[in-house]
Amino acid sequence: MLTENAKKVLEKRYLKRDSEGNVVESYDDMFRRVAKTVASADAEYLGKEDIEKSEKDFYDMMIKLEFLPNSPTLMNAGRPLGQLSACFVLPIEDSMDGIFETVKNAALIHKSGGGTGFSFSRIRQKGAAVSTTGGIASGPISFMKVFNIATEAVKQGGTRRGANMGILRVDHPDIREFITCKANSTELNNFNISVGLTEQFMQAVEHDNMYELIDPSTKKTVGMERAKDIFDMIVEHAWLNGEPGIVFLDRINNKNTIPELGEIESTNPCGEQPLLPYESCNLGSINLLTMIKEDKSGFDYEKLERCVVKAVHFLDNVIDVNVYPNEKIAKNTKATRKIGLGVMGWADSLYAMGIPYNSEQALELGQQVMKFINEQSKKASMDLAQIKGVFPAYDKSIYPAQDIKVRNATTTTIAPTGTLSIIAGVSSGIEPVFAISYIRNIMDNTEMVETNPVFEEVARSRGFYSEELMRDIAKKGSVKYMTDVPEDVKEVFVTSHDIDPSWHVHMQATFQEHVDNAVSKTVNLRNEATLDDVREVFMQAYAMGCKGVTLYRDGSRAAQVLNIPKQQHKETVQSGTILIPKQRPRITTGLTEKFRTGCGNLYITVNYDENGEICEIFTNTGRAGGCPSQSEAVARLVSIALRSGIDTEAIIDQLKGIRCPSTIRQKDLGILSCPDAIGRMIEKVAKMNGELKEEVKRTIPYLHYGETKNSTDKNEKSFEGRRCPECKAPLESDGGCMICRSCGYSKCN
């Protein structure tokens, strides 16, 4: 049942290797290894025959791709590392001892392949007095950078790289610095960041009121801010590069199933798992596409129930066989026994049933299926409690008042399934499909068209399939404007960018209604989306009961995705890696200067993109003539190089010093040739890159005000933008992470 692509991803990132790096297990061996290890947790409660049955049940649902646990469980179960949790939340106290104790714990977690979430809200603001030393506090952002460097330096287990979540309460005095801390795409690249919004703040936004900034150490008011100003700042920077996201802290804590253990301050890196300090999350996902009836008339709820029961049993066992990074995490995780059962393949399931993602019918079905999974997971947890007992912190939970005895404090979470959905061969989580078809480089730059299997089946059965059509679809990603595709098929097979943002939020809110923890979902916006579009998404998420929301405007973070330091560019070119230029921004701003050449006047324009990065060069000659074609050619090539990430200094070095006879013959021109002038202009603007860059970043977003959502011809727009640094296939945004569905690359893999 595994696709060839799935097998390649497993071989590259999951299967056991020997000391020389050779793969020494098959995917079947991997599933048997995981099933045997997880089933062994039953030894204390069940007999040999029951344990063998559990092992068979676990193996069957994984090999049939009906259920898959999170990546660390697949990678590490039955292996020496033994760390099976995906993510952890660690507390940060306002002291040097506390901060660096957490740095140490984070390093150990990342070494084991886990990710970490932190709240920096307890750290006193920048400039506050430090009584013990008489010094001045450097603030939470400075310590975020320490955590970023520390986790960057850790070599993590060889297979999986963890990420970080950084959260700061909106009433922290340093909130402005936090919101803008990732405006520079070269900093804090190991962090996702989210602003922790309170009910008080959101009400102040709605009524255009001021709100208080609170000193975290004294709990006293130290300032006031206009709520709308801060909210607009969040909106602007989310528009610029997708960060920060937002989490609704009060809403999360109102739904906390164990309120007596303390307040939830942070989530895991993707935001779907709010956790108390020193807790870890153990997640798994049911493949909904395998739960559809043979006639595709709906879900087989009897089959789904059986899968839920086995999956809850599996995830609960993971807690017991897990090898935790330290004793505190082991103790707190076992005290609450939180699990997070979610889904994947939702969009493909809708395709198979002929239901558009952006429809009321899809929302109704989503509510029905998630309510069923949530209810059945509680029943399964209750059944386990009769055999194995309730979770140790049960008396501090909400359940005694409800007269419910459960094994797990929470049972459901919607996580981004990333590489898991690639293994299963289905769409990720509850995300819409990103592209119906795309082109994948397989070897020696040989291209292969990858098509959504459900769409391909429909296309073949309806008689409109052709290799040429699939290749044409791959250029745009969508079938929306394909004349060879029937209208009723177009209506069903919508993709992320075909769907109005409001439907993204509606779907997230629908699933959230029946999920204990939270829902990881990215609201994908087209590149031409405006600040008002972003603001609307955030307000809608708040109004509809979401616990948080992440968005990504297509093409806004292309440079950051590759994460290639400047000093590596030359090596990248020499190694033969194909550099793909970013799509040209629709709105730019820049400077123009006139140069006198030996052939007449040359006007050179250097433009910046919305992130304040030099992205293109234009030249124009005066009436005196000159060599416009050569100048234009140089400018075009330089523009492509800039948008491909080539170091600006390297470009300047190549252009400066080129001599032209017509220029040499004349004195006092100040330049040696047209290319020399272009190099000098780039150098001049680059040296202004401080205040000018910040001004550009402040200005460009506001140029989008008043634009219509259909300001570009979507029919003509090709499918471009983010490309995988490993295989050059398109990247898609999934739960705040960039995922390649071709090779399995992601920020966390």
Tokens of 104: 């140490």
If you write DSSP's letter for every residue of 289-320 in order, what string do you get? GGGB-TTSSSB-HHHHHHHHHHHHHHHHHHHH
Among the listed residues 509, 581, 573, 582, the one whose alpha carbon sits nearest the alpha carbon of residue 547: 509
Backbone dihedral angles phi then psi of residue 569, each to the nearest 5 degrees: -60, -45
Please count the other Cβ atoms lying within 10 Å of the Cβ belonging to residue 688. 12
Among the listed residues 637, 617, 587, 621, the one whose alpha carbon sits nearest the alpha carbon of residue 685: 617
* Residue located via tokens 């990215």: 522
Among the listed residues 428, 271, 346, 288, the one whose alpha carbon sits nearest the alpha carbon of residue 746: 428
271: DSSP letter: S
Identify the three-state secondary structure at position 225: strand
The number of C-alpha atoms within 13 Å of 136 and in the hemisphere containing its C-beta is 3
Task: Tell me if 564 sits within 8 A of 540, measured CB to CB.
Answer: no
Active-site option among 272, 431, 613, 732: 272
Q: What is the Cα–Cα distance from 541 to 518, expressed in whole angstroms? A: 13
Catalytic residue status for 620: no
Centroid of chain to Cα 733: 5
Residues 6+ apart with CB under 8 A from 294: none
Q: What is the Cα–Cα distance from 440 to 437, expressed in whole angstroms? A: 10
Backbone dihedral angles phi then psi of residue 248, each to the nearest 5 degrees: -95, 95
Active-site option among 76, 241, 268, 749: 268
Q: What is the Cα–Cα distance from 379 to 412, expressed in whole angstroms? A: 12
519: DSSP letter: B
Q: What is the Cα–Cα distance from 358 to 506, expressed in whole angstroms? A: 9
Q: What is the Cα–Cα distance from 378 to 432, expressed in whole angstroms? A: 28
Q: What is the Cα–Cα distance from 213 to 222, expressed in whole angstroms? A: 6
* Max Cα–Cα distance, the chain, nearest Å: 96
626: DSSP letter: -
Catalytic residue status for 268: yes
DSSP alpha helix (H) spans, 544-673: 558-562, 569-574, 628-643, 648-655, 661-664
Backbone dihedral angles phi then psi of residue 473, each to the nearest 5 degrees: -65, -40
Among the listed residues 225, 211, 243, the one whose alpha carbon sits nearest the alpha carbon of residue 144: 243
Active-site option among 87, 181, 270, 546: 270
Strand arrangement of the beta sheet that strand 614-621 belongs to:
589-597, 600-608, 614-621
Q: What is the Cα–Cα distance from 694 to 610, expressed in whole angstroms? A: 10
Catalytic residue status for 270: yes
Catalytic residues: 268, 270, 272
